[in-house]
Structure 1
Amino acid sequence: MTKYVRQDPELTRRKFITAAMGTTVGVGAVSLLTIVGAVKPADTLTPEKRLPSKGDVLVYADPAKNGAPVALADIKEGQVVYAFPKGKVNGTDVVKNGVTRNQLIIAKFPPSQLKAPTNLAATDQGIVVYSRQCMHLGCAVEVKPYPSKGLQEAAVCPCHGGVYDLTQGAKVVDGPPPAPIAQLPIKVVGGQVVAQDTFLSLPYDITESEFATQKKELEKA
C-alpha cells in the first residue's frame, strides 16, 4: 500500500503566494531596470563622440562625399555646407559623427555682416561655423530664409520653431531655445577649414562637467 502525507492546504497556499510574490518582484525589478535603462542608456565616449578639437579638418557630412575635406569653392554666400570634424584620436583619423552636436553648419557672409555676439576672431574670410543641434530639444536645424526677421540665412528648428541669427553669434531670435547654438572657432589653412579649438560655449546634450572634463582631456592631448 502506497503511503503519502496529506499536505496542509493552508501551507500549500502560503508557499504558492510566497513564490508568486517572489516572481512578481523579480519581474518587476527587471522591468524597472529595463525602463530606467531605456530612459537613459549608458553612453560610452567613443572616438566618434568626442568634441571637435584643434587641428580637426571639416569634412562633408554628405555620405556621398566619403569624408572628403570641404572644398572652399563650395562655401559660398547664400549656400550652407553641413560638415563633421575629422581628426586624430589616439593616433587614428576619426570622423567625429557619433553625436548630433558634432554636425556642423558652415556658412559664409560678407565679413561686414558678421557682428557681435559672433566671436569674430573665430571666423575667417566671412566663414563662420556652428553646431547644427538646436539648444531646445536637440533637433537638427535647417538653414533657410526667415523673412519675418529679415534674415536671408537663419538656422530654423523644424521641431518647435526655434530660430537663430547666424550673423550675430547664432543668437535666438524666435521660438523656445534658451541659448545660442555653439560656435566652433576655425581658420582656413592650406585650402581647408580647420578647427582652432572646441566649441566656444556649451553645446546641447552635454553637461557642464562633461564639457569641462573633455576640454581638459583635449588640452592634454
Structure 2
Amino acid sequence: MTPADEPDAGRTPVRFANPGLPAHRHRNADVDPKAAKRAERQVLAMLAISAIGSVVAVVAYFAIPLDGSFATLQLSNLSLGLGLGCGIFFIGVAAVHLAKTLMPDTEMIDERHPQRGTEEEREEAAGIMTQGGQESGLGRRPFILGGLVGAAALAPLPAVVLLRDLGPLPGDSLAVSMWEAGVRLALDPSAEPILASDVTLGSVFHVIPENLYESDHFLDEKALAAVLIMRVDPDVVQYDPEREGWDVDGIYAFSKICTHVGCPVALYEQQTHHLLCPCHQSTFDLTQHCKVIFGPAKRALPQLPIAVDDEGYLVAQSDFLEPTGASYWERERG
C-alpha cells in the first residue's frame, strides 16, 4: 500500500476487492461410488431405526399392562419414550446425513429480485424446484426415497394412538373418587389414619383415602382423591351457610388438584392462609373456601366434607360435590 492509499480521518476507507469463494472441495461420496453407496446404506439404516422405533412405541402402548405397580409404569414410560424418541430422532439424523453426504453442496448465488414475478419468472422458479428435486438424487436412489416415505408415514402413528387418550370427554368418570361416607383420611403415602387431635392449629397434611391401595389402579384414583387438610381459627373463615358442618373445629379438607391444568397444589402459606400452585402460580384463599384470588385458575378448589368417627379419626362425609381437577371438561354430573 502506497502512502497515497493509506486511510486517515479525512479520506474514504480503503476498499478491498471481493476475494470470491474458495475452491470447492469435493466430498468422498462425490468422487467415490463406494463411499456414496455406503452413505446411502447409512441413511437407509437410520430411517429403518426410525420406523422400528415408531412401531415399538405403538406395540408397547397396547402390550404393556398398567396394573398399578411402579415397575410396569416405568417399563411403559421407558418403552414409549425410547420408541417415540427413536422415531423422531433418527429421521432428523438421516436427513442431516443425507444433506451432508449425498445432496449437492456446490455454492450458488441467487440474486435478489422483486417479490412479485412475471409468469415467465414463476415458470422459471418451478423449473428450479424441479431441478432441485432432480439434483437431490432421491429419484436415482429409490431405496432412500422409500425409506424416507416409510419412516415419515410411521412417525405420526404413535402420536395418533397415544393422543386418543385425550378423548372423548370423560363425562362423569372424573366426577367420582374413592371418597365416600365413613372413609378415613390417611397420611400420604403411609395410609395411616389421622386423628383430629393430631391436626394442630396452623398445620397442613397431605391426605389420601385410607383404602386407596386396595384399588388395582391406585395411581389413577390418587389423581382424583388427593387432598390437603389444614387447621385454622374458624373465626378467620368467611361463613358459608351452604357448607355448614363441612369442617371439624377449623379443620378443612380441599382437593389438592389445581383447577387450572391439574398440577398438585402443595404450598401453604400459614400466615396468609393461601394455597399456591407452583406450576402457574394460581393462588387460593382458605378463608374464602379456597376461592381463586390470583392466577389462571377459574374456580375454587373443591371442598371435601369431613367429620370425626367414634374413635376420633377424621372421616369423609361424602365424595366431593363437584369434579376435581382441571376445568377443561364438562363438569356437570349426570
TM-score (structure 2 length as normaliser): 0.47
C-alpha separation between the residues in 2 aligned to 1:114 and 1:185?
15
C-alpha separation between the residues in 2 aligned to 1:175 and 1:160?
7
Correspondence for 2:225: 102
C-alpha separation between the residues in 1 aligned to 2:280 and 2:166?
27
Task: Compute the displacement of 1:161 (Å).
Answer: 1.2
Q: For 2:330, which of 184, 204, 208 is the aligned residue?
A: 208
C-alpha separation between the residues in 2 aligned to 1:86 and 1:96?
11
Correspondence for 1:115: 238
Q: For 2:297, which of 177, 183, 187 is the aligned residue?
A: 177
Correspondence for 1:164: 284
Q: For 1:193, which of 314, 319, 324 is the aligned residue?
A: 314
Distance 1:205 1:175, change over 3 A: closer
SS at match of 1:122: coil
Question: Does structure 1 retain, via aligned residues, the 8 Å contact 2:260–2:326?
Answer: no
C-alpha separation between the residues in 2 aligned to 1:102 and 1:60?
12
TM-score (structure 1 length as normaliser): 0.67
C-alpha separation between the residues in 1 aligned to 2:239 and 2:211?
29
RMSD between aligned residues: 3.6
C-alpha separation between the residues in 2 aligned to 1:54 and 1:40?
35
Give deviations 1:12-41, integer Å, cap 9, x for gaps: xx9x96xx66x7666555432311344454
C-alpha separation between the residues in 1 aligned to 2:297 and 2:303?
15
Q: Residue type matched to 1:114 in 2?
A: V
C-alpha separation between the residues in 2 aligned to 1:25 and 1:168?
58
Task: Compute the displacement of 1:122 (Å).
Answer: 1.4
Question: Does structure 2 retain, via aligned residues, the 8 Å contact 1:76–1:108?
Answer: yes
Higher helix share: 2
Q: For 1:79, which of 185, 191, 203 is the aligned residue?
A: 203
Give deviations 1:137-166, integer Å, cap 9, x for gaps: 2221211246xxxx2x21111121111011
C-alpha separation between the residues in 2 aligned to 1:116 and 1:33?
54
C-alpha separation between the residues in 1 aligned to 2:159 and 2:246?
43
Task: Compute the displacement of 1:110 (Å).
Answer: 2.1
Give deviations 1:89-147, integer Å, cap 9, x for gaps: xxx9449553434211111122222224582321122111001111112221211246x
Correspondence for 1:144: 269
More contact order relative to length (CA 8 Å, sep ≥ 6): 1
C-alpha separation between the residues in 2 aligned to 1:184 and 1:29?
48
User: Which consecutive unaligned segments of at least 5 residues does structure 2 have?
Assistant: 1-138
SS at match of 1:36: helix
SS at match of 2:288: coil
User: Which consecutive unaligned segments of at least 5 residues does structure 1 have?
Assistant: 1-13, 214-221
Question: Does structure 2 retain, via aligned residues, the 8 Å contact 1:104–1:131?
Answer: yes
C-alpha separation between the residues in 2 aligned to 1:105 and 1:113?
18
SS at match of 1:212: coil
Task: Compute the displacement of 1:50 (Å).
Answer: 3.8
C-alpha separation between the residues in 2 aligned to 1:42 and 1:175?
25
Task: Compute the displacement of 1:56 (Å).
Answer: 1.6
Q: Which moved more, 1:52-61 or 1:32-41?
A: 32-41
User: Computing the radius of gyration over CA atoms, which structure comes out larger, 1 or 2?
Assistant: 2
Distance 1:159 1:72, change over 3 A: same
